[in-house]
């Protein structure tokens, strides 16, 4: 390599550094300009965001109002069914008590000789060797 080639390379290197430096300065100045533009657009964007949030709140509140209306009917339906269920539960309890009473009566009829004899006498049966007296009222 000759001295001329070296000086040419050195110049091209220095020029490339200067070009990079000027590009960086241009980028910085463009960023500042973009920031100004961004500030203006962010103000309008903030307004649009606020308007969107307002619309969202209105939609949500209207949904809640509609749902509240529907749930009021649902509450009445639930309350009525709750009362019906309460009546059924009482009826089931009453039937269970009656079932228990009938089971006890069946047990007495099967195992208690006194109860069996009482029932037989009510039906008109007599023991062998007994004499039955019937009293007929006078007319």
The reported pLDDT for the residue numbered 134 is 83
Do 125 and 131 meet the contact criterion of CB atoms below 8 Å apart?
A: no
Do 132 and 126 meet the contact criterion of CB atoms below 8 Å apart?
A: yes
Please check the confidence at residue 40 and state whether its pLDDT lies above 70.
Answer: no
Do 108 and 115 meet the contact criterion of CB atoms below 8 Å apart?
A: yes
Q: Report the range of poorest mean pLDDT among 73-77, 101-105, 122-126.
A: 73-77
Q: How far apart are CA 41 and CA 35, in angstroms?
A: 10
Please check the confidence at residue 119 and state whether its pLDDT lies above 80.
Answer: yes
Q: How far apart are CA 116 and CA 13, in angstroms?
A: 128
Instruction: Quote the DSSP letter at residue 127.
Output: -
Q: Does the predicted TM-score (pTM) go above 0.85?
A: no
Please check the confidence at residue 51 and state whether its pLDDT lies above 80.
Answer: yes
Mean pLDDT for the stretch of residues 27-40: 61
Q: How far lies 131's CA from each of 16, 105, 127, in Å?
A: 144, 30, 9
Do 19 and 26 meet the contact criterion of CB atoms below 8 Å apart?
A: no
Q: Report the range of poorest mean pLDDT among 30-34, 95-99, 128-132, 133-137.
A: 30-34
More confident residue, 36 or 85: 85
The reported pLDDT for the residue numbered 22 is 79
């Amino acid at each position: 390599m000759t001295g001329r080639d070296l000086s040419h390379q050195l110049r091209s290197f220095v020029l490339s550094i200067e070009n990079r430096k000027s590009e960086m300065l241009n980028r910085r100045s463009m960023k500042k300009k973009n920031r100004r533009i961004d500030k203006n657009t962010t103000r309008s964007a903030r307004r649009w965001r606020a308007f969107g949030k307002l619309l969202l709140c209105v939609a949500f509140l209207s949904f809640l109002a509609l749902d509240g209306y529907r749930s009021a009917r649902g509450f009445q339906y639930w309350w009525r069914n709750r009362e019906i269920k309460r009546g059924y539960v009482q009826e089931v309890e009453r039937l269970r008590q009656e079932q228990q009473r009938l089971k006890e009566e069946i047990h007495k009829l099967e195992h208690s000789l006194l109860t069996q004899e009482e029932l037989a006498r009510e039906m008109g049966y007599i023991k062998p060797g007994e004499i039955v007296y019937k009293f007929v009222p006078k007319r």
